[in-house]
Amino acid sequence: MLRIRPFRRLWVVTGVAALGDWLGLLATATFASAQVSGDAAKGLAFGSVIAVRLLPALVLGPVAGVLADRFDRRYTMVICDLLRFVLFASIPIVALFSESAGLTVGWAATATFLIETITLLWIPAKEAAVPNLIPRSRLETANQLTLITTYGLTPVFAGLSIAALDRILRSGNTTPPEWAEASNLALYFNSLSRLAMALVVYFGIKEISGRIHGAKEHGQSMLRQFVEGWKYVGSTPLVRGLVFGILGAFAGGGVVIGTAQFFARSLSAGDAAFYLLFGTLFVGLGAGIGLGPAVVRDLSRRRWFGMSIVLAGGSVLLLSVAIHLAMAVFGALLVGAGAGMAFLSGVTLLGGEVGDQVRGRVFAFVQTAVRVVLMLAIAVSSSLVGLGGSWEVSTVSISSTRVLLLIAGVASILTGISAFRQMDDKPGVPVLADLWGSIRGRPLSAGEEVVGAGTFVVFEGGEGAGKSTQVNALAEALRAERREVVVTREPGGTEVGQRIRALVLGKHSELSPRAEALLYAADRADHVATVVRPALTRGAVVVSDRYVDSSLAYQGAGRTLPVDEVSWLSSWATGGLRPDLVVLLDVPPEVGLARAARRGAADRLESESVSFHERVRYAFLDLAASDPKRYLVLDATRPPEEITAAVLERVGEILPEAPPHHHEPSEAFKTIVEVDLERRPS
């Protein structure tokens, strides 16, 4: 992306602008706080200056958008930067010549209001320029790069720069003159950076010139964006979960920023610790945005979103009990990482899930809401913590800072859990196991889906166990109760499956173990999609001769392939569909193979060694032992009638009550959905 010269220059301008914004935010707030004495007054001064930054967007959003749409973009950016150059420089200059702290704080708030108003003109001009500087196919990458710069790198540089200045100026136990205070120098630097940006844009990026024609979503007022956004958010559960989750994550981050100055004091640290925590938070934010996708890889973005918010909330809780600066720095890093990953995954999901006709309004709402929530959380939390002070409980000092962090952490965790429950697209799949599988490159399959009122019964066992006999006996008994029954098998339950069956069971087929496993998975995917799931959806009883356990036993234990890989492959092929009951007909290999031999020529699997079939048998038994509630293990050497009676008794426990007027499917329908099992040895 940076090889494209116009975009590279604009990216540099944007980075400097973001650095200036964060320097201005920190410098003006700490500058105002330094003009008064007392924790309550400092907290109110710090929070009020930040709160002022919200007013222009709330009040002047429509006017700013209209003006930005009507003027040349390059001249708009240049004029805005020149005005901000003057306003930022005026804040410390007024303080030098004013003897009233109230006047100084008042002008800082007024200048901040004007700067934010001008920024409302600068932002849409810049945003409109990006698509014209780069290919459309690379717009997403460009936006991610800008996002990392704006929320990850420049806040860190801003915090570290002020912290370094403060430490240098106060080294040797000397107090610098008023004009050389760290916040004043930061404001001077911010002012000069605006002048430099104006020159770069005017002389170096002429491609920006042009006007935006037509109404644009970013030209709407914040109030209108909120109203239209809330209408859509309120009527769409997924989007509602996404939006509230993103806002919850940034609210938690805002509370951390707002309380950091007082939190640093509770750790017996100074202003340098505050800037360190501030910078660390945004290091985490940048790391979450930049590295998160590479870490979680193919994890469901819906799950990643909810888990990221819970991570951010839990990290805020960690901050509330931190007793050392190192512990606090680690907590701030995790808060930023969680918020960054939630923001990135949430925006990605919004882009994929929201319809094109409302996408612009929803994105405008999200961007505006994030800005408001972050600034409001900083302002309110800093004001409250300044008023709250601290108190003693059983000789333990408890500050309002820690209480506020505790409340924010709990609220963020609840927000994340709520979002996760609304959006989880893999119910039934363990969350942590899915995350670990994704990190390793093998995410777990989709979760169990609600597929209707049907019942899924599977018969498993070694060769010659008598599965076909019991499948047919169960089907006849259920049809006598006027139930719809679909009898099928694996492999070979579909037209595609018949071809795969010829490959995997043909005696002269030469297949590697992995190729065999893949063919069985392909058969299973087609079988579930075209036969099993549709039948369950309409409420039928599906009785299958073999399913996933056969792959785990034959390809896993028999072929000695890694069982977890075979399990993941089968689960992915079936979309996580699990049977309601697995009937395991257990038979010693010698007995079963002898039965199969009496029925004709052995197929490819029946021709394997006795030790192979021993491994298969014990694999089946191990699977049954791991989930006894879902398995019925029967001795297949018993008379068939006894086995049938035991199967009917257990199946009767899981079947819903038969409908009184349910009609038997026609013979033609049976021919379509069933497989002729009599031709296949059991």
Beta strands in 400-462 (DSSP E): 455-461
Q: What is the strand order of the sheet 631-635 is part of?
A: 485-489, 541-545, 455-461, 581-586, 631-635
Phi, psi of 104 (to 5 degrees): -65, -50
- Determine the Cα–Cα distance for residues 556 and 559; give it in Å rounded to an integer: 6
Phi, psi of 134 (to 5 degrees): -135, 160
Residues 6+ apart with CB under 8 A from 91: 28, 31, 107, 108, 111, 187
Provide the token pair at 21: 């914004």
Render the burial of 422-452: b for 16+ CB within 10 Å, e for the rest: bbbebeebebeebbebbeeeebbbbbebebe
Tokens 């001064």 sit on residue: 45
Q: What angle do CA 672, 673, 675 make, to 5 degrees?
A: 95
Q: Are strands 396-399 and 581-586 parallel, antiparallel or unpaired?
A: unpaired
Which residue ranges are tagged as binding site?
A: 461-468
Residues 6+ apart with CB under 8 A from 547: 458, 460, 490, 524, 579, 582
> Could you tell me the sign of the dihedral formed by the alpha carbons of 566, 571, 574, 577, in that order?
positive
Amino acid letter at 162?
I
Provide the token pair at 251: 């609210």
- From residue 370, alpha-carbon distances to 57, 331, 352, 386, 646 in Å are 13, 22, 19, 24, 61
Which residue ranges are tagged as binding site for ATP?
A: 461-468
SS3 489: strand
Crossing angle between the packed helical segments 154-169 and 182-204, to the nearest 10 degrees: 140
